[in-house]
Structure 1
Amino acid sequence: MRYFILGFFMSLCTFSGVVKAQEIAILKYNGGGDWYSNPTALPNLISFCNQQINTKIDAKHQTVEVGSVDIFQYPFIHMTGHGNVFFNEDEAKNLRTYLLSGGFLHIDDNYGMFKYAEKEIKKVFPAKDLTEIPADHPIFNQKFKFPNGLPKIHEHDGKRPQALGIFHEGRLVLLFTIESDLGDGWEDTAVHNDPEEVRLKALRMGSNIVQYVFEN
């Protein structure tokens, strides 16, 4: 289980309560991108995780802003969208502190956000580069096995799916999934009419990410 000990945050505990052990929040960002896209995705993933890997995640997930101290209450933050992303200096610093202190960010490109988000990640980690995560990484080998790495859920440009990461002291702190669109696969069946086996692949991969974060 992942716990945070944040010097300045501990002074807030009297008011904010204990850091939540198993909770997920959606990241709200500026720039005009639709951070709120895929509204049924996270509730469905949470339900699947609670059933399949025995998590106890609150289905009523919260929304947190990049620059808010509230992000420190959540061990797992999910970010998605199609368009522009922008972090100001304070937001980038806040997100960096969160990630280096034990937090985890999953960015799932809902198609079209990669070129924008990649630039903002450089503000968060100027000295680090996104690197491809190999198929033998533990994130692909939790309860569900993905011997070929990240599954392809939606075609988009027809390129191969990639799981890119930022590591700090050997720990994966940021996962950026592109050309896969896991979030679309998590949505209600009626939204995209994906075959059940495709949705199941997406949900299983999502639960692997959650399990990896909560158990490491």
Structure 2
Amino acid sequence: MKQLTVPTILCIFFVCANVGAQEIAILKYKGGGDWYSNPTALPNLIRFCNVNIGTDIPEKTDNVEVGSLTIFQYPFLHMTGHGNVVFSDEEAENLQNYLLSGGFLHIDDNYGMEPYLRKELRKVFPNKELEELGADHPIFKQEYDFQDGLPKIHEHDGKRPQALGIFDEGRLVLLFTFEADLGDGWEDAAVHNDSEEVRKKALQMGANIISYVFKH
């Protein structure tokens, strides 16, 4: 009888634990970056999705550590912050196993994490690079149509917003939204004083991401 490898066992556990599940957790990481930023963002996005696109996602989200097997209980992980990100070798391997076993990670740069994140992602996928998603990618054509691709929500350096992804055998396993700051638009209106139009765009794009992940 062929012996099962650890990644295979984790994959079986992941599939069995998540058949039909719609749950999102916040990824907690080391390095000093504020993984806990934008506290009202994800609950607001989940509420928007449950009302407008028919999802059934618990509004209360758990915080899970990169190196914990607990991440395999959630088909969708969300990560954000402003500063430094550090993955140990063991955490990088655990995250790689999670993503290759069917999990998905959305990283929304809240401004400042990009150079640190790129370095750490090389630990997770040494042989893969972030690829920019064109405006014709299906993630922009789900419940809402974004003809120009990722919308700009919060201005920092005057750079264009980018949706960058890592793929495995054609499946998008990781999405990095950069120079867009979707999470600021998901937060309560009083936090950043964004207009209703800007917040609507952010929530609709977030809904597209969630719709795309759970459909695929």
Partner AA of 2:53 in structure 1: I
1:50 Cα deviation after fit: 0.3
Does residue 8 of structure 1 match 2:17?
no
Per the alignment, do residues 10 and 160 of structure 1 end up closer, same or farther by CA in structure 2, a change over 3 Å counting? closer
In the alignment, the residues of structure 1 paired with residue 11 and residue 41 of structure 2 have an alpha-carbon distance, to the nearest angstrom, of 32
Q: How many residues align?
A: 208
Could you tell me which residue of structure 2 aligns to residue 202 of structure 1?
Answer: 202
Q: CA RMSD in A?
A: 1.4
Contact 2:11/2:101 (<8 A) preserved:
no
Per the alignment, do residues 127 and 11 of structure 1 end up closer, same or farther by CA in structure 2, a change over 3 Å counting? closer
1:38 Cα deviation after fit: 0.1
Alignment of 1:133-148 (within 5 A): 133-148=133-148
Partner AA of 1:126 in structure 2: P
Q: Give TM-score, length-normalised by structure 1.
A: 0.93
For residues 135-194 of structure 1, what are the alpha-carbon distances to aligned partners after superposition, in whole Å with 9 as ceiling and x for unaligned?
A: 111100001000100000011001000000001100100000000000000000000000
Could you tell me which residue of structure 2 aligns to residue 165 of structure 1?
Answer: 165
1:9 Cα deviation after fit: 3.4
SS of corresponding position for 1:57: coil
In the alignment, the residues of structure 2 paired with residue 117 and residue 39 of structure 1 have an alpha-carbon distance, to the nearest angstrom, of 21
Could you tell me which residue of structure 2 aligns to residue 94 of structure 1?
Answer: 94
Could you tell me which residue of structure 2 aligns to residue 3 of structure 1?
Answer: none
In the alignment, the residues of structure 2 paired with residue 91 and residue 120 of structure 1 have an alpha-carbon distance, to the nearest angstrom, of 10
In the alignment, the residues of structure 2 paired with residue 99 and residue 135 of structure 1 have an alpha-carbon distance, to the nearest angstrom, of 24
In the alignment, the residues of structure 1 paired with residue 51 and residue 34 of structure 2 have an alpha-carbon distance, to the nearest angstrom, of 29
SS of corresponding position for 2:213: helix
For residues 59-110 of structure 1, what are the alpha-carbon distances to aligned partners after superposition, in whole Å with 9 as ceiling and x for unaligned?
A: 0111110000010011110000000000000000000000001000000000
1:10 Cα deviation after fit: 7.2
Contact 2:165/2:172 (<8 A) preserved:
yes
For residues 6-39 of structure 1, what are the alpha-carbon distances to aligned partners after superposition, in whole Å with 9 as ceiling and x for unaligned?
A: 63237869xxx83371000000000000000000
Partner AA of 1:173 in structure 2: V
Does residue 19 of structure 1 match 2:15?
no
Runs (4+) of structure 1 exceeding 4 A deviation are 10-13
Could you tell me which residue of structure 2 aligns to residue 54 of structure 1?
Answer: 54
Contact 2:105/2:174 (<8 A) preserved:
yes
Partner AA of 2:148 in structure 1: N
Alignment of 1:25-40 (within 5 A): 25-40=25-40
SS of corresponding position for 2:58: coil
In the alignment, the residues of structure 1 paired with residue 10 and residue 158 of structure 2 have an alpha-carbon distance, to the nearest angstrom, of 44
Could you tell me which residue of structure 1 aligns to residue 156 of structure 2?
Answer: 156
Listed as ranges, the gaps of 5+ residues in structure 1 are: 1-5
In the alignment, the residues of structure 2 paired with residue 201 and residue 10 of structure 1 have an alpha-carbon distance, to the nearest angstrom, of 35
Contact 2:81/2:109 (<8 A) preserved:
yes
SS of corresponding position for 1:208: helix
Q: Give TM-score, length-normalised by structure 2.
A: 0.93
Per the alignment, do residues 178 and 10 of structure 1 end up closer, same or farther by CA in structure 2, a change over 3 Å counting? closer
Listed as ranges, the gaps of 5+ residues in structure 2 are: 1-6
Per the alignment, do residues 103 and 12 of structure 1 end up closer, same or farther by CA in structure 2, a change over 3 Å counting? closer
In the alignment, the residues of structure 2 paired with residue 9 and residue 128 of structure 1 have an alpha-carbon distance, to the nearest angstrom, of 21
